[in-house]
Homo-oligomer: A and B are copies of this chain.
Amino acid sequence: MNTFGTRLKFTSFGESHGMAIGCVIDGMPAGVKFDEEFLQKELDKRKPGKNTFSTPRKESDRAQILSGVFEGFTTAAPIAIVIFNENAHSKDYENIKDLFRPAHADFTYFHKFGIRDYRGGGRSSARESAARVAAGAVAAMLLKEFEIEVQSGIFSVGAINSKLDSAEFDFDFAQKSEIFCLDPKLEEEFKQEILKAKKAKDSVGAGVYTRVKNAFAGLGEVLYDKLDSKLAHALMGINAVKAVEIGSGIKASQMKGSQNNDLMKDNVFLSNHSGGILGGISNGNLIETKTYFKPTPSIFLAQQTQNIAGENVLCELKGRHDPCVGVRGSVVATAMVRLVIADSLLLNASSKLEYLKKIYKLF
């Protein structure tokens, strides 16, 4: 299904080499200030072709708002955003028309649907993520009303891992860094690792850290729409993601309870191993997640594979690809987390009678 979210729903459409990609965001409350400039800025972060660390394909990714906004505010009508594709190189894909690119969705889509749009990877292309970033930007407009902020950055590239504690990550630096690096000391090493892979016609993986500042306590719906469940669902669903951690993640499983439990004193949590989520609901602390991206499947080295007829063939890709998909993936991680938090904020509005009485003036 192509719809994500429960109360704030996001439906995307469009293929990499089709006419356009876009999305419909449904459920935004009326009266939220709509910042089109901010939306475009977020899309630009994700845009390909900006530097040597991402794919050379150039798109301007200009968003057109088709509906749902009136005199600068949301109307509660669905917000449709369309981005017309400009720079599709279909002929780059001609030679791989009938074969299954390794580690791509070609094989699975073909088996599931019997049809696939081979050009540019169709729906499985990372270009579709522009729609997610647009939707995430809209969600951010709602979060902004409550000073809730979502930020992401890179903390590992390949086997190079930052030793910093998450509290030490430098988000100001990441904002200016071409690869959104959170550890200033490692930026050069990260860049070299990516260029090395690129030069070798290969690719490399990365780790993305995302945090949510100022989230209220109480977000998340028990038991099967818990906040951590929805975050995991959203993040694991990003192209190329293979692991998700909340708070201390895997390290938590290696600890004792006496070490892992976050104690409270004087209205403050003394630690945050939980990553801001307890029992699936936010506790008011910083929400912290880590998302791990595998290396870009599309590499330029020749690879052993098969084609539709079942014959063994060699796959030699052309086209323009990210050597490290996790870098731009961090922008998508931010977008997805924005959508989840905004959705939870809306759902939480009906969780207790006290809230309903405030709204309906009977308190």
Q: Tell me the smallest distance from the CB of A110 to a CB of chain B, in Å.
A: 9
Is the beta-carbon distance between A353 and B31 smaller than 8 angstroms?
yes
One of A45-53, A167-175, A198-206 at the interface: A198-206
Q: Note all chain B residues with C-beta closer than 8 A to A153.
A: none
Q: Note all chain B residues with C-beta closer than 8 A to A293.
A: 253
Taken together as a complex, chains A and B put the C-alpha atoms of A70 and B16 apart, in Å, by 12
Q: Note all chain B residues with C-beta closer than 8 A to A58.
A: none
Q: Tell me the smallest distance from the CB of A135 to a CB of chain B, in Å.
A: 11
One of A36-44, A184-192, A341-349 at the interface: A341-349
Q: Note all chain B residues with C-beta closer than 8 A to A234.
A: 229
Is the beta-carbon distance between A29 and B224 smaller than 8 angstroms?
no
A/B interface sample: 12 pairs, CB < 8 A:
A12-B223, A13-B77, A30-B351, A70-B116, A70-B117, A76-B113, A114-B354, A124-B280, A202-B256, A242-B248, A350-B350, A358-B358
Question: A151 on the interface (CB 8 Å rule)?
Answer: no
Q: Note all chain B residues with C-beta closer than 8 A to A359.
A: 349, 355, 358-359
> What are the nearest 5 A-B pairs in CB distance?
A105-B279, A203-B257, A205-B253, A30-B113, A233-B233
Question: A164 on the interface (CB 8 Å rule)?
Answer: no
Q: Note all chain B residues with C-beta closer than 8 A to A27.
A: 1, 350
